[in-house]
Structure 1
Amino acid sequence: MIAIREKNKNAMRKLLSLLLLFGLWSCQGQQKKAAQPAEEEVAAVSYPVTKTDAEWRAELTDLEYYILRRAGTETPFSSELLEVKEAGTFVCAACQTPLFKSEHKFDSGTGWPSFDREIEGNVAYDVDYKIGYKRTEEHCATCGGHLGHVFDDGPRQTTGKRHCINGAALDFIPASE
């Protein structure tokens, strides 16, 4: 009788372990799928600069491609542009469209370059539910490259906005050039 109970307990443990593993695997699969928009979604919006996926892959670094073309996110505090404080313009790494001015950059403490405003007309916006709640996603208005997101928790003395941007989506052009 005790041996049968032990067998049932072991079988139940195995079943629960398998269910748990399956649950974790399916959640991770959904997360990965959401982080990479389908080609149809990317191609649905038309931008002045359009290239094939192969052309983008050839022109961009792996990280730039992941951020700009697959809507990825870089590791916080990893961007060389985080500490840039000199006068200049931050441009799209894919098409060189001017997006943000250094005078509007501030330290948000989040680990990503942050700005309180964009260069008007050069940034496009969309709604993103990829992590389960509504966020405003930012794109380069010229090539459609994913930049980051904008939030309403920026400096109150200016715009109140925090444009939280992936540094890999940007190049910096000093004012002296």
Structure 2
Amino acid sequence: MAMEYFDEKIVPILKRKLPGSDVSGRLIGAAPGPSAALTTMQLFSKQNPSRQEVTKLQQQVKTNGAGVTVLRREISELRTKVQEQQKQLQDQDQKLLEQTQIIAEQNARLAELERKLREVMESAVGNSSGSGPNEEASGKRRKTVVSIDSPRKSKRLRNRK
């Protein structure tokens, strides 16, 4: 963002004030540090800009520095927010994993209960079809099986049987 600002605002000003020089190549292509400062100083010494122009450029540099400081602060805040969101995502992933495990356990219990229910139903049906000394008990079981298999009937209809 600072580079874009530099390219859009400062380079055109320097090109107008320093005709015939390749300002963008010298300033942008130069690595930051003493070599860049030397290149800039050489550029200024060749063209002899006025004090007013130098003062304007210094003010722009100060303004840009303040803008960079603000941007760094914003970046820091955004990094903090990203870290918070990553922590939140990790917590949610952990909860999701726990819930998935609970669902799997409940599905296993449900399957076991369904299997036991089928066994009880089959044993109740199997006992009621056979004849023997426990006919009275098997008759009671049959009624129980009928009431389990069919929807609930009114008391009057249940007593008719």
| TM-score past 0.5 threshold | no
Structure with bigger gyration radius: 2
TM-score by length of 1: 0.27
Question: Greater helix share, 1 or 2?
Answer: 2
TM-score by length of 2: 0.29
